[in-house]
Amino acid sequence: MKEYKLDRTYFKMQTAEEAANNYEYWKKQSLAERLKAAFYLNSIAYNFDINDPPKIDRNYFTIRSRK
């Protein structure tokens, strides 16, 4: 997997055209690549190790069948 690195000190205002170019870039990526990037960003936002994600607490999340 290609490693991504988030520079927390970098911020740049974008024009609508630049934002559209960014959208086009991600639109061209495969679904797997987009999911990998999203998972990486979640690991940064929620501060968990990407190689050891947290487990679901079964006390709060259950599976129910619909009738």
Domain residue spans in the chain?
12-67
What are the C-alpha distances in Å from 37 to residues 19, 29, 43, 54, 65?
17, 10, 10, 17, 32
In angstroms, the CA 19 to CA 10 distance is 16
What is the model's pLDDT at position 28?
92
What is the model's pLDDT at position 2?
62
pLDDT digits (tens, 9 = 90+) for 12-65: 777 888 877 888 888 999 999 999 999 988 998 888 998 998 888 878 777 778
Q: Are 46 and 53 in contact (CB under 8 A)?
A: no
More confident residue, 4 or 42: 42
